[in-house]
Amino acid sequence: MSLSTKLIEGTKPEAETLAELQKKMSLPAGKSITLMVFETSFKDKKVYCCWSGGAIKDGEPQLTLVGKAALEALVNLPLGSTEALIFQELKQGPTLLKDKVRAAIMRAPEGAKICFVGDMQGELDGHMHKAFNLAQGTIKISH
C-alpha cells in the first residue's frame, strides 16, 4: 500500500491561539480556518499529522503562529492516540522528502500524532503535497 494523505477539516487550535491568528490575519471572528492537519496511511499504519512552520533548535520546536495553531489542532484532534506526540523536522537534502516522511511514519506507533516541522513557506513550499501524496477529498470532523 502506498502513502496516502487526506486533509481533516474542522480541527481547532486553542481559543487564545485562534483569536491571535484571526487578529494577525485580519480575519473576522467566526470565519473558519483550515489548518494543515491530516490523516496519513502507509502500509498497514494510520497516523495523524500536521505541517507546522518553524524549526527545531536545541531539541525544542520553535513554531510560527500558524505552525503553533496547526500543532494545537493536531493535539486537540479527537482521533488517534493521546499517548504519542512526535516532532519531526523536515529539510530538503539528498534523501527524498517522501522517504523521510515514510520513515517517520514507520518509526511511529499506530495512531500516533506527528508534527512535521520545517520552512513551509520557503524550502518546503510546493514539495509537501507530493511528499505526502495528498489525496482528493477531506475528512470532516466537528469537536
- Residue 143, pLDDT score: 59
DSSP helix/strand/coil, 122: coil
- Residue 2, pLDDT score: 87
> Which among 74, 56, 64 is positioned nearest to 121, based on CA atoms?
64
- pLDDT tens per residue across all 143 residues of the chain: 589 999 999 999 999 999 999 999 888 877 778 899 999 999 999 999 999 999 999 989 999 999 999 999 999 999 999 888 999 999 999 999 999 999 999 999 999 999 999 999 999 999 999 999 999 889 998 75
* Model pTM score: 0.93
> Which among 101, 114, 107, 135 is positioned nearest to 37, based on CA atoms?
114
